[in-house]
Chain A
Amino acid sequence: MYDSPKAEAKLDQKEIKIAAEGVQVFYGDTHAIKDVNVQIEDKTVTAFIGPSGCGKSTFLRCLNRMNDTIDSCRVEGNIRLDGEDIYDKRVDPVQLRAKVGMVFQKPNPFPKSIYDNIAYGPRIHGLAKNKADLDDIVERALKRGAIWNEVKDRLHAPGTGLSGGQQQRLCIARAVATEPEVLLMDEPCSALDPIATGQVEELIDELRENYSVVIVTHSMQQAARVSQKTAFFHLGNLVEYGETGQIFTKPQDPRTESYITGRIG
């Protein structure tokens, strides 16, 4: 299951979920992202790789406007979700983020019970009609987060009491519970041990059936294991974007090759 992506054959027919054109990001005077164009497909795992500080996380955070929370950050260019510009004045970032969920580098369960952690999103978005419905949503999300069997007996124990790997799967389940269409993951395994990483990677592969998943990773092996498409960022530029297999075996750009063979990074 770890060796190669399964669904390479069907890749061509996927529709475009997110299209970014000429995206520039500035932090104050720093030009963090330089003219990035990329098209992210539905029901695909797309990996962003590159040396640290290359802008891959910054770009990821543009996709659900998490950068809005940073005062000095300015985004230019346009990013379309299903053909609609997400930086349009009429767009409410709150509504956008409900569709484009995010999982962070460090597991960040709220200091609440496991149940309340999952129920938080559905509650604020009003997804449940009643208590039974909410219970249902929580159970379904926990199952999809592949953590149901481990926590079903202690749903009201605090989420912070779980192990690191469990916490991260809880956070994924929490993101899934709001029924997003795209799931952004910012180095979701960097704080986890190899066994927990394996579990999360397996989960990501399963999530592909329903969502478009974008994952930022600093581990090339991980990108090769879980993704179908890979984008290589370097110094704020998108250097190369293509099929994962092609990027790792026949990179077009010398910088990509240097990175993959370990000469830069």
Chain B
Amino acid sequence: MTDATSAGAAPRPARSSSILEQDARTRKRNAAESRFKMYGIAAIGIGIFFLCVLLFAIVRNGIPAFTQTFITAEIALPGDRLDKTGNRDPEEMAKVSTFGYKPVIVDGLVRALEDAGIEIPFEDKADVEKMISAAAPAQVRDTVLANPELVGQTVEFRFLASSRVDGYEKGRVTRGDLARDKNLDAEHLDVVDAMKDAGMLERTFNWDFIFGADASESRPEQAGIGVAMLGSFFMMLVVLALALPIGVAASIYLEEFAPKNRWTDLIEVNISNLAAVPSIVFGILGLAVFIQIAHLPQSAPLVGGLVLTLMTLPTVIISTRASLKAVPPSIRDAALGVGASKMQSTFHHVLPLAMPGILTGTIIGLAQALGETAPLLLIGMVGYIASNYPDGVVSGFMDPNSAMPAQIYEWAKRADPAYYERAWGGIIILLCFLMTMNIIAIILRRRFERRW
């Protein structure tokens, strides 16, 4: 131990003797320090900036989807055209197709415009139909068939305006755009302005967007997300009914009972890998196993739910195991100490204590499944027009349907830009659901979180 003495007292290096003044090197180092800190702040700033841009884009582009322009007009329903036999028999009247109703509407609309003193600037008066949705004839026909006594009277109808008129009202379509558009001319817009002044045209909240069904490519003004929402709902039921019990059972086994051996090691590695497998691969699995081999119906929420269950299972297992692990061993020892079996100690004591954590994890897994799109594309939950509500629980599971994210994707792919607005609007609804689920999860966690 003579090293120290042999080295002797080293000369003190040149360094500012007072700690009250910073020497040049310290100043330089402090500058580097603040630069480094700035990088961090900048990184966070960029992240938050992206988040704001994203949210702004969603809200700005999506909000218009929740309102819709309507045209109100009194339409005369002439008996000679709609009910030739005259005995008001709905079966007979059903022979007149929507095609036969079109001129009736055109006539009524032209009359209404003339009554309101609005000049019709285009040569072919039938062009007024371009301003209302292609869904209008069906709407009038359905009303007439439901109430045959209306024939011969003049009835007030509230028609959806066509998507171009709606876009003009929302500022999406400008006169300049219409120069290249076959669906509407700039002259129509003069009529639209006049109708607005006359109170025939108004923009109101559009419940049909939230609860309605999807419409064909040419009628974006009519499309709604309601049916797809129901499809998502049935899928989530399947996921909840399968992923929660299977996930909890698997976690209990792995955490409480599994011996430490190769097999359980394999299961563990396998689960953490499954959690990172791309979701599209689960779609391929679903396609091959459930549709190719098991011949389950394509596009059915049941199949979608099964695929999403397999995808969510690792998430549920991982979070359940974490909450089981968080229950201290003393609880288990206490139960075993009074003579309970291991199974009793697990089901009577450990599981109830871990329940809030398990539910939180399950809700987060469900939220993840609700937003997932890629696997659904492969099992055919896209490209299908979800125009009908399922007529019962069984058909809800088995009949072809879409799901919210798949419906949004479908809209995003359609050529008409009016559908983009719907897609953004759909995203707002989807995010509302996700936010609700996450808030419930956070509340559960806050409310029941226990620190041991």
Q: Please tell me whether chains A and B touch each other in their complex, using a CB distance cut-off of 8 A.
A: yes
Within the assembled complex, what's the spacing in Å between the Cα atoms of A146 and B15? 26
Within the assembled complex, what's the spacing in Å between the Cα atoms of A145 and B12? 17
Whether B13 sits at the interface, judged by CB under 8 Å, is yes
Within the assembled complex, what's the spacing in Å between the Cα atoms of A149 and B3? 8
Task: Report the minimum CB–CB distance from B292 to chain A (whole Å).
Answer: 52
Contact A94 B9 (CB under 8 A): no
Task: Report the minimum CB–CB distance from B18 to chain A (whole Å).
Answer: 6
Contacts of A90 in B (CB 8 A): 20-22
Contacts of A206 in B (CB 8 A): 1, 4-5
Whether B142 sits at the interface, judged by CB under 8 Å, is no
Whether A186 sits at the interface, judged by CB under 8 Å, is no
Identify the closest chain A residue to B14 (Cβ). A127
Identify the closest chain A residue to B30 (Cβ). A92
Within the assembled complex, what's the spacing in Å between the Cα atoms of A265 and B19? 38
Contact of A94 among B12, B16, B18, B30 (CB under 8 A): B30
Contact A86 B4 (CB under 8 A): no
Whether A202 sits at the interface, judged by CB under 8 Å, is yes
A interface, size bucket: 20 to 34
Interface mask (A109-140 → B, CB under 8 Å = 1, otherwise 0): 00000000000000011110000000000001
Contact A143 B4 (CB under 8 A): yes
Q: Main SS of the interface on chain B?
A: loop
Contact A126 B25 (CB under 8 A): yes
Contacts of A209 in B (CB 8 A): 4-5, 9
Whether B10 sits at the interface, judged by CB under 8 Å, is yes
List the one stretch of A23-31, A52-60, A95-103 in contact with chain B.
Answer: A95-103
Known: A84-B18, A95-B23, A124-B29. A210 touches B3 (CB 8 A): no
Contact A179 B10 (CB under 8 A): yes
Whether A91 sits at the interface, judged by CB under 8 Å, is yes
Contacts of B23 in A (CB 8 A): 95
Contacts of A144 in B (CB 8 A): 3-4, 7
Docked complex: A70-101 residues within 8 A CB-CB of B: 81, 84, 86, 88, 90-92, 94-96, 98-99
Contact of B19 among A86, A125, A210 (CB under 8 A): A86
Contact B25 A125 (CB under 8 A): yes
Task: Report the minimum CB–CB distance from A264 to chain B (whole Å).
Answer: 31
Whether A203 sits at the interface, judged by CB under 8 Å, is yes
Contact B26 A92 (CB under 8 A): yes
Contact of A92 among B3, B5, B22 (CB under 8 A): B22
Task: Report the minimum CB–CB distance from A195 to chain B (whole Å).
Answer: 13
Within the assembled complex, what's the spacing in Å between the Cα atoms of A209 and B25? 29
Whether A199 sits at the interface, judged by CB under 8 Å, is yes
Whether B6 sits at the interface, judged by CB under 8 Å, is yes
Interface mask (A143-157 → B, CB under 8 Å = 1, otherwise 0): 111111100000000
Contacts of B29 in A (CB 8 A): 94, 124
Whether A223 sits at the interface, judged by CB under 8 Å, is no
Identify the closest chain A residue to B4 (Cβ). A206
Contact A202 B1 (CB under 8 A): yes
Contacts of A96 in B (CB 8 A): 19
Contacts of A140 in B (CB 8 A): 7, 10
Docked complex: A193-248 residues within 8 A CB-CB of B: 199, 202-203, 206-207, 209-210
Contacts of A202 in B (CB 8 A): 1
Known: A202-B1, A206-B5. A88 touches B20 (CB 8 A): yes
Known: A92-B30, A94-B29. A81 touches B3 (CB 8 A): no
Contacts of A81 in B (CB 8 A): 19
Contact B1 A210 (CB under 8 A): no
Contacts of A146 in B (CB 8 A): 1, 3-4
Task: Report the minimum CB–CB distance from B233 to chain A (whole Å).
Answer: 46
Contacts of A88 in B (CB 8 A): 20
Task: Report the minimum CB–CB distance from B31 to chain A (whole Å).
Answer: 12
Contacts of A84 in B (CB 8 A): 18-20
Within the assembled complex, what's the spacing in Å between the Cα atoms of A146 and B5? 10
Within the assembled complex, what's the spacing in Å between the Cα atoms of A84 and B18? 8
Within the assembled complex, what's the spacing in Å between the Cα atoms of A147 and B19? 31
Task: Report the minimum CB–CB distance from A204 to chain B (whole Å).
Answer: 10
Task: Report the minimum CB–CB distance from B35 to chain A (whole Å).
Answer: 15
Identify the closest chain B residue to A206 (Cβ). B4
Contact B20 A179 (CB under 8 A): no
Contact of B3 among A99, A127, A143 (CB under 8 A): A143
Sample of 9 more A-B contacts, CB < 8 Å, known A99-B19, A127-B13, A149-B3: A84-B19, A92-B30, A95-B16, A95-B26, A143-B4, A144-B4, A179-B13, A199-B1, A209-B4
Give 16 A-B contacts (CB < 8 Å), ordered by A residue.
A84-B20, A90-B21, A90-B22, A94-B26, A94-B29, A94-B30, A95-B16, A99-B19, A127-B13, A144-B3, A146-B1, A147-B3, A149-B3, A179-B12, A179-B15, A207-B4
The 3 closest A-B pairs by CB, nearest first: A143-B3, A206-B4, A143-B7
